[in-house]
Copies of this chain bind each other. A is one copy, B any other.
Amino acid sequence: MADTKLWTRIAVALAAVGALALVVGCPPSKPKGSKRPAAASDIAVAAEKTYVPPGDLDEYYMFSSGGHSGQVYVYGIPSMRHITTIPVFAPYSGTGYGFDDESKAMLGNLTWGDVHHPALSETGGDYDGRWLFVNEMNGRVARIDLRDFKTRQIIGPVPNISGNHGSTFITPNSEYILMSSRFSIPIPKGKAVSIDRYASEYKGVAAGIKVDPKTGQMSLGWQVLLPPFDWDLGDAGKKLSEGWFFLTCYNSERATGKLEVTASQRDRDYIAAIDWRLAEKAAAEGKGELVGGVKVLDPKTVPGLVYLLPCGKSPHGVDVSPDGKYVVGSGKLQGVTTAFNFEKVLTAIKNKDFAGEEDGIPVLKYESIKDAEVPVGLGPLHTQFGPDGMAYTSLFVDSALAKWKLGTWEVLDKVPMSYSTGHLAAAEGDTVSPDGKWLVGLNKLSHGRHLPVGPSQPESSQLVDISGDKMKLVYDAFTEPEPHYAQIIKADKLKPIEVYPREENKHPLAIWDVKDAGVTRKGNEVLAKVVVVRSSMTPALIEVNEGDTVKVALTNIEQTTDELHGFGLLDYNINVVLDPGETKTVTFKADKPGVFPYYCTNFCSALHQEMQGYLVVKPR
């Protein structure tokens, strides 16, 4: 084990330098790459490169995690414009999400989530433009349909998973999504075990969530028991490494308390390699135990299921090269990143070339499986790929990006970033055939980069032109909190619809003609079927009695693009938005007597202001 105290001293010193640098408004440390001052001609070139004139369209979509805002934010590239917000784990009254019966039920009892890593669905290792999956820390994963940019399913909280950070990472044909526990707990959830017994009775868990290849519907697959480390980030193998999941961890010390000190005792943590085809097979064969309602496989009883690759202390990202040969990971305070050769990993496994074990899981030998330590710079967190073996690594401590080459391991260029870049997203950068062209650094700190907005400073993302030999920083954009990761897909891969075709609407309460609209009653249950269309709501009057349970079923019968209507009911906290061709319901108890207007909240036509009605609640 290396000098732990020294390591801690370095970390503390670095944090202090970072803090000081921020106060005076400069990056924590200067990258070693040559500084390219922005000449007027450079500015003009950057302006034109990123400018999307009125009427023109961006070349790529970027789907960016919204962190603890619970949402996904969509940007256009190269304009870096925020072009829409997709509500996922938090209500969003802008689209009425979380207010109608259907989306409210999907959210359950949670009104926030901590979104981390979006994953576009893949076919043959390429983004196929069908779905976007995103995880959040309360053990959930959501599926967004890219046909309409709507959240269509939320699975979870998934049993046994706690702090679902290492997620969602998807296999090359979207068979499975990975989830994992960042914070180990006693399982099943609900068991209260003293923290003193952390090392032996708290459990790490990785889960494979099965994805239906036709519909994208997610279901519980299998889970794998892991030691009580903090499981952090992952990636799925591809091509040469297809069939494997990789997952980093920190705190292999199994420490509790102040982890900043207690979890820094060892020189190396691990990358776990999980054979997901074997997990699938073992679960199908009835192996494992039901814990919390899901099949949990113990690596002790399924040989070959998991191996541990020693990695620099406290790694963050682990990234598989487009050909699947290299698995790249680094200690987050190292000056190098390690390229593990997966062929060597397979050989070591075959030869049982092990250094030891953790809870029955074999530990491979670092020297046997690594191909290179690439001197990228200080604080390598995450690597993305371009064509021709190009790799790009974010340097958190250096506040810079490094460009280097797989195989030759040369560092070719560095560019300063502002500041503390965490993840990177390259155009089609997680696929078997990355595009190059554009790279976005998702920065953790933004001080001084934009007009000041008070102590609650937003994050920032920066666009880097990687089309030439040298990287060029060309644009700064604020990003909604908190960008953990993003994926960038070619715009022409998506063909979103603009209207829900009437013939697809199978909602049992849908109506298409004002003659079918009206209010009916069964005991104290009132059903109001409402037609919403320019420029009226029919009926314009709903009369109920205090204490009634009222269900309003709204159908927007428009089949014209951009003709959204909203249904805002004042004082009752109701706000539903209906896209063209959509039916939604909202159910509430009429517990306040009086007269309550309802009105269209989404502008729709010249007579939008006239689109209103009244709910009259007669007192008991």
Asked if residues A68 and B561 are in contact (CB atoms below 8 Å), the reply is no
Question: Are A601 and B482 in contact, with the CB atoms below 8 A?
Answer: yes
Check: A432 CB closer than 8 A to any chain B CB: no
Docked pose: A459 CA to B82 CA in angstroms: 12
Expressed in whole angstroms, the Cα–Cα distance for A379 and B603 within the complex equals 15
Contacts of A564 in B (CB 8 A): 455-457
Nearest B residue to A538 via CB reads B258
Known A-B contacts A53-B43, A480-B94, A618-B192; A257 and B540 likewise in contact (beta carbons under 8 Å): yes
**Are A76 and B540 in contact (CB-based, < 8 A)?**
no
CB-defined contacts of A324 to chain B, threshold 8 Å: none
Minimal Cβ-Cβ distance residue in B for A10: B606
Tell me how far the C-beta of A179 lies from the nearest C-beta in chain B, rounded to whole angstroms: 14
Partner of A593 from the list B54, B55, B70, B192 (CB cut-off 8 Å) is B192
Does A51 lie within 8 Å of B51, measured CB to CB? yes
Q: How far is the CA of A474 from the CA of B597 in the complex (A)?
A: 40
Known: A11-B607, A456-B564. A450 touches B58 (CB 8 A): yes
Do B481 and A94 have beta carbons less than 8 Å apart? yes
Contacting pair B562 A446 (CB below 8 A): yes
A18 touches B48 (CB 8 A): no
Tell me, rounded to whole Å, the shortest Cβ–Cβ distance linking A396 to chain B.
Answer: 7
Residue in contact with A69 in the complex, picked from B93, B332, B477, CB distance below 8 Å: B93
CA distance A149 to B109 in the complex (A): 30
Shortest A159–chain B CB gap in Å is 12
- 30 cross-chain CB contacts under 8 A: A15-B607, A38-B54, A38-B55, A54-B462, A54-B474, A55-B449, A58-B450, A66-B94, A67-B94, A68-B602, A80-B81, A81-B450, A83-B450, A90-B92, A109-B573, A111-B573, A138-B571, A149-B453, A157-B571, A163-B570, A183-B612, A189-B571, A190-B594, A193-B595, A230-B612, A258-B538, A259-B610, A451-B494, A454-B497, A455-B500
Interface string of A343-368 (1 = CB under 8 A from B): 00000000000000000000000000
The answer to whether A409 has its CB under 8 Å from any CB of chain B is no
A596 to B614, CA, bound (A): 46
- List, in ascending order, chain B residues with CB within 8 A of A43's CB: 48, 51, 53
Q: Which of B232, B446, B540, B577 contacts A68 (CB 8 A)?
A: B577
Docked-complex contact A594 and B83, CB < 8 angstroms:
no
Tell me how many residues of A have a C-beta within 8 Å of chain B: 167
Residues in B neighbouring A66, C-beta threshold 8 A: 94
Copies of this chain, count: 2
Q: Which of A169-177, A386-394, A579-587 contacts B (4 or more CB under 8 A)?
A: A579-587
Which B residue's beta carbon lies closest to that of A495?
A: B452
Say whether B455 contacts A579, CB under 8 Å: yes
- Indicate which residue in B68, B183, B538 contacts A601 across the interface (CB closer than 8 Å): B68
Contact at A561–B612, with CB atoms within 8 Å? Answer: no
**Chain B residue with minimal CB distance to A536?**
B258
Choose from B22, B499, B605 the contact partner of A562 (Cβ within 8 Å).
B22
CA–CA, A288 to B83, complex, Å?
50
Q: Is A278 an interface residue (CB 8 A)?
A: no
Question: CB < 8 Å: which of B83, B232, B446, B474 contacts A478?
Answer: B83
A417 (CB) vs chain B CBs: closest residue: B54
* Residues in chain B near residue A250, CB distance under 8 A: 609-610
The contact of A192 among B110, B193, B595, by CB within 8 Å, is B595
Within 8 A of B (CB), among A252-277: 256-260, 263
B residues within 8 A CB of A92?
Answer: 69, 90
Residue of B nearest to A138 (CB): B570
Chain B residues lying within 8 Å of A474, measured Cβ to Cβ, are 54
Given contacts A47-B48, A250-B609, A456-B579, 6 further A-B contacts (CB under 8 A): A22-B561, A54-B418, A68-B93, A69-B93, A162-B570, A260-B535
Chain B proximity of A423: nearest CB distance (Å): 11
